[in-house]
A and B are shown apart, each in its own frame.
Chain A
Amino acid sequence: MIGIIDYGLGNVRAFENIYRRLNIEVRLVRSAEELEVADRLILPGVGAFDWAITRLEKSGMNEALNRRVLSDLVPILGVCVGMQMMGTRSDEGNMIGLGWIPGRVKRFDETKFNQRTHLPHMGWNSVEVTQQGSLFDGIDNPQFYFLHSYFFDPDDAIHAIAYSDYGVQFPAAIRCDNVWATQFHPEKSHHWGIHLLKNFADKT
C-alpha cells in the first residue's frame, strides 16, 4: 500500500487519483500510526522551505517518518519541496532539513541566465536520465512539469540520477538507497508522470 503523506501541503489528491486509476492500493496518511501500514511513501510539498518543514513537524509524523525511512528502509518518493526537505539546509530558509541525503538547497544563479525570464523555473522541461533503471524505466523522451526557484544540490554527485537544464544543469531526480525524489511534479506530468509513479510502486 502506498501512503501519501498529507501534512497540508502539496497535491495529495492528484497522487491518490493516479494510483487509484492504476489500481494500486493507496491511502492518505495523516498520523504516525497510519505511517506504519504503508509499505511505500510519497512526500509531496509545495511552498516555502521553512513553512513546509514547520507543517511537517506540526503534523506529529516527523519522528515516525524518520524511523520508517531510516531504520525500516521504506521506499519514499519526495516531490518538489518534498525533495528539497530531504536535504540538510536551504538557502530559502533557516530551518534544518530532514537530512536524509546530504546536500544543500540552492537558488538558481540568475546571473547565469541569458534569457529574459529568470525565476521561477516554470513549465515543461526535458529530463536527461544519467542513472537508468527503476524510476525512469521505459519512459521515452521524458518531459516533466517544473515549478520552482530552488533546487537540491547533493554533496555527492552520485546521488543525482537525472538532470535538467535551466541556465545550469541541475538535479531533476535524486536517489540514496531507499530515498528517491524528483524536483518536477510527476502527478501533473501526463503519461510521463503516471509512468514514473507506476515505476515507483512496482520497481523500487
Chain B
Amino acid sequence: MLRPRLIACLLVQNNGLVKTVKFSDPKYVGDPINAVRIFNEKQVDELMVLDIDATVRGCEPNFDLISRLSTECRMPLSYGGGVKNVDQIERIIGLGVEKVALGAQAIATPDMIGRAAERVGSQSVVVVIDIQHTGWRQRPEVVTHNATRRTGMSPTDFVRIIESHGAGEIVINNVDRDGTMEGYDVAMIGRLCSKTTLPVTVLGGAGHLDDVVDLWRAEGLVGAACGSLFVFKGKYRAVLINYPNTEEKKRVLSDAGWLE
C-alpha cells in the first residue's frame, strides 16, 4: 500500500541553509551537504531543496550546488528555485535530481509545464504555489518572488491551470504559516485538494508530529513537508537536525489511521 510521504524541506541562500518565518528573517542553520548526510542516515522519505535567492536575484540555478547535493543524497530529491526554461530542467534532472519545481515561471509561461513534461516526464515536473492571505478580506492569493509580488490569481484557478498543463505534483506552500510551527492550515489545504487529482505536498506550519497526524487524518494521501520541525528543537529554536525514527514514524502513520 502506498503511504503518505513525510518530507524534509531545506531552504538555500548564498550556498548555506536558512530557515525563514513567513518568508522573512532568514536564520542561518548550517551547511547543506552535512544536513543531507544526516538526513540520509535518518532515512527520510524525500528531500525538497528550495533556493530562495535564485528567482529574486534573477540568476540561474546553482548547478554546482545541486550536483553536490544530489551526489550525497540517497533519497528522492526535488529542487526548486530560479528555474526558467526546459533546458535547465533537463540539466537538473541529468544531475540526478528526481523532480524539478517551478514557481514564478509557471505563472508567467504555464505552457512550459507541458513542454517540460514531454522531455522529462510529467512525474518529474512540480509546481510550487506560494499562497498568502491578502487584502482586507484576507483572501488566499498566489504570490511570487518570496511573497514580494502579488499575482491577483486565486490558488484554485492556478491549481486548474497547473493540472491542465500536465504537471506531476503540486506543492502548496503557505506563506502565512511558514516557520510559525503552529500547524498546517488544514481547511485551506482541503479546499485545494478537492480541486485536483494530482499528488499534493503541503508545506508551511508543521511544528509537531501531531500536526502531520492531523493533516493525514483529514486529507489522506498528501505529502507532509516540514522545514522548522526537522531543523529546530525546543523553545530556543536550537538547530538540531531530527526526523522520526522507524518506530516514531509508524506511530504517526497509525495515529493518522494509516496502518492496521
Contacts and interface: CB of A to CB of B under 8 A. Distances in A.
Interface of A: 8-9, 11-14, 17-18, 46-48, 51, 81, 110, 115-126, 145-149, 165-166, 185, 187-188, 190-191, 194
B74 interface: yes
Contacts of A8: 94
B118 A51 contact: yes
16 contacts: A18-B74, A46-B121, A47-B121, A51-B119, A51-B120, A117-B221, A118-B197, A120-B122, A120-B168, A122-B5, A122-B168, A122-B199, A123-B199, A126-B1, A147-B124, A149-B122
A18 B40 CA distance: 12
Given A13-B70, A14-B96, A46-B93, A120 B123 contact: yes
B73 interface: yes
Contacts of A124: 2-3, 5, 45
Contact of B2 (A12, A46, A123): A123
Contacts of B223: 123
Interface in B183-242: 193-194, 197-200, 220-223
A119 B93 CA distance: 20
A110 B98 CA distance: 23
Contact of B197 (A117, A126, A147): A117
Nearest to B91: A8
Nearest to B72: A17
A188 B75 contact: yes
Interface in B42-92: 43, 45-46, 70-71, 73-77
Interface of B: 1-5, 40, 43, 45-46, 70-71, 73-77, 93-99, 117-124, 168-169, 193-194, 197-200, 220-223
B197 A48 contact: no
Given A13-B70, A48-B120, 16 more contacts: A14-B96, A18-B74, A46-B121, A47-B119, A47-B121, A48-B118, A48-B119, A51-B119, A51-B120, A115-B220, A116-B193, A120-B123, A124-B2, A124-B3, A126-B1, A147-B123
Contacts, number: 119
A1 B117 CA distance: 34
A126 B258 CA distance: 13
B15 to A, nearest CB: 20
Contacts of B200: 117
Contacts of A9: 93-94
B169 A122 contact: yes
Contacts of B71: 13, 17
B91 to A, nearest CB: 10
A200 B229 CA distance: 37
A109 B123 CA distance: 16
Nearest to A110: B197
Contact of A48 (B40, B45, B77, B117): B117
Given A14-B74, A120-B168, A188 B120 contact: no
A152 B71 CA distance: 29
A115 B127 CA distance: 21
Contacts of B169: 120, 122
Nearest to A188: B76
A9 B89 CA distance: 12
Contacts of B221: 115-117, 123
A190 B75 contact: yes
Contacts of B40: 190
Contact of B98 (A17, A121, A147, A149): A147
A146 B104 CA distance: 28
Contact of A46 (B77, B120, B197, B198): B120
